[in-house]
Amino acid sequence: MEKKIRIYGRTEYPGKVTAEALVSPMPLQGFTNVDPARGCTTERNHPLFGISYEGKVLVFPSPRGSGGFLKYGKGRKPAAFIHTVASPLNVLCCLYAHVPSMTDFEKDPLDYIETGDIVFVNADEGYIEITKKG
């Protein structure tokens, strides 16, 4: 049987979804540095530059910069947001995205999730479950 890792956290926006993870080791920035029409970050030198997050569980340490971070919640948006530290920028993003979003975990999800892992985000019951990629 596959080993699943379950981590409890705080729900920002409810819902349940299972999708592949896209992990950003760096904080994410919005405003001009995200393109909702293509669903990717446009921040120069960013590890996720040009990589589509549409339909993925987007995992990142924290947001930074402009209130235009809410643009991650528009257009070709992720299936869910998982981030280590909460900021009012995440609140703005959730208001737009209306997809499951969680933060303030008992353990840092970035230590457990890699890009390509399958993550079940159960924001209704306050946990995520990670299935490592084969």
Instruction: Please give the backbone phi and psi of residue 31, each rounded to the nearest 5 degrees, phi first.
Output: 60, -125
Looking at the Cβ atoms of 60 and 130, the one nearer to other proteins is 60
Which of 36, 55, 65, 75 is in the footprint of other proteins by CB under 8 A?
65
Cβ atoms of 100 and 128 within 8 Å: the answer is: no
Residue 101 binds to other proteins (criterion: CB under 8 A): yes
Please identify, using beta-carbon distances, which residue of 66 and 115 lies nearer to other proteins.
66
What is the rounded CA–CA span in Å between residue 121 and residue 101?
A: 8
Which residue in the set 17, 20, 52, 66 belongs to the binding site for other proteins (CB under 8 A)? 66
CB 59 within 8 A of CB 109: yes
> Which residues are tagged catalytic?
66
In angstroms, give the least distance from the CB of 99 to other proteins. Answer: 12
- Minimum distance from residue 4 beta carbon to other proteins (Å): 27
How far CA 121 is from CA of 35, 57, 68, 110, in Å, comes to 24, 8, 25, 14
DSSP classification of residue 89: H
Residues in touch with other proteins (CB under 8 A)? 10, 12-13, 27, 29, 31-35, 42-45, 49-50, 61-67, 74, 85-92, 94-96, 98, 101
